[in-house]
Amino acid sequence: MSKKVTAIEWLRDESGYQLILLDQTLLPGRREFIVCRNVELVWEAIKMLRVRGAPAIGISAAYGVCLAALSAPSATSDGVAVAALRAADYLATSRPTAVNLFWALDRMRAVIGQHHSSDRDLIQKALIEEALRIHEEDRQMCHAIGSHGATLLADKSVIITHCNAGGLATAEYGTALSVIFTCQDLGKQVQVFADETRPLWQGSRLTAWELLERRIPTTVICDSMAAHVMQTKNIDAVIVGADRITARGDVANKIGTYGLAVAAKYHSVPFYVAAPSSTFDLTLQHGREIPIEQRDPAEVIAPYGHTLAPVGVDVYNPAFDVTPAELITALITERGIIQPVEGGNIRTILNANA
C-alpha cells in the first residue's frame, strides 16, 4: 500500500558524484530521471520546474554547490571555496520566492566559511555532509509534520488540497500530503479533492499521481470549482503547503491558494498550511514584502506547446499569491501546531526544540 516517492538522489559511481532528479515536467505520462553532474544542470532543473517544491529546491541547490566544489578547476582549498560560493550565488538566481532555496544556500556558505582554510578534500567532504544533513533533516521534518497534522483530522475526512506538497516537493512524504499519508498509516480513511492548479497542473499531474500511488480516493477538480465543492461536498478541511511564511504568518504559496482560503473562510472550513520551520522567513513581517516570481507568459497562453489564446494578448503570470494570516486556521510544522496564527505563537513554536 505504501509507496515512497523518491524525487532526489545523491549517488556516487565510478565516474564520480551525481545528483539524480525525477523530471516532474513529464509526469504522470513518463517517469524519467535527469543526471546532474554540474551546477548548470541543477540550475536549469530548478528554473524549469523539473524539480519543484520549496524543500526539494533547497535540497537540490545544496547538492548543486557540492557538484561545483567537486569539479573546481583549482586544486587549492581557496579554489574550491571560490567555485562553491559562485555556485551558491548562481543557484540563488534560479527562483526568487521559495525561502528554502536561500536557507539551504546560506547553510552551504557557512560551511565554506568554516572550512575555507582546510585542504581541498576536507572542504568537499564537509559540503557533501552538510547537503546530506539538509536532505535527512527534511525527511524527518516531513514525517513530524504528518504526525502533528494527523491529529487535526478525523476518520473519513474529506479534504481539498492545492498544487503539490508531497514527496515530489520534499525529501519524502511531503508537507500537506504528509498529513494525509500519515492519516492513512494510522488507519484513518481520507478522501481528497485535488485542485488541478493552473497554469501548470501540478495538482492533477503530480498530487493526483502521488495519491493514487497510495490508493487514496482522489478526485481532480478545476481551481474554479473549489468553492462549489465546499458548498456541496461536506469538506472537512483544506490543507496546502507553503513557499515562504512571514513573521506574522502570511503565507506565499502556489497561485490560487489565496482564493481557496477566502472560500474556506466563507464556508467555515478549516484552512491548514503545512510547512517546515525552514520555510519561515522571520526577517519579513508582512506578506507584501515577499518577492513574487513572474513566469513565462507561454505557461498561460501555450502550456506544453498547445496554443490557448490569440497571439499578442497580454499575460499576467504570477507563480504565487499571499494568504493573510487571519485566513489561516493553523500552521502545521515539525515542531508543533501554531494556532491561532500570530507572531507570538510562531516564535514560541519555532523556538521549541530549536
pLDDT, one tens digit per residue, over 262-292 is: 999 999 999 999 999 999 999 999 999 999 9
Number of Cβ within 10 Å of residue 79's Cβ equals 15
Confidence of residue 3 (pLDDT cuts 50, 70, 90): low
Work out the pLDDT band at 15, boundaries 50, 70, 90: confident
Q: Which residues are catalytic?
A: 243
Of 2.60.40.420, 3.40.50.10470, 3.20.20.10, 3.40.640.10, the CATH number of 144-351 is: 3.40.50.10470
**What predicted TM-score, i.e. pTM, was given to this entire model?**
0.93
pLDDT at 159 over 90: yes
Strands (E), 25-172: 33-36, 157-161
Residue 247 gets the label, from left (phi > 0), alpha (psi -120 to 50) or beta, of alpha
Residue 219 — left, alpha, or beta (φ > 0 → left; ψ -120 to 50 → alpha)? beta
Where along the chain do its domains lie? 8-142, 144-351
Examine the pLDDT at 229 and tell me if it is beyond 60.
yes
Closest to 112 in 3D by CA, of 75, 66, 71: 66
Superfamily for the 8-142 domain: translation initiation factor eif-2b, domain 1 (1.20.120.420)
Q: For the chain, give the number of residues.
A: 354
At 293-319, the pLDDT tens digits run 999 999 999 998 899 999 999 999 999
Span 38-44, average pLDDT:
97
Q: What is the mean pLDDT of the chain?
A: 95
pLDDT band at 4 (very low <50, low <70, confident <90, very high): low
Checking if the pLDDT of 340 tops 80, the result is yes
Q: Mean pLDDT, to the nearest integer, of 73-90?
A: 90
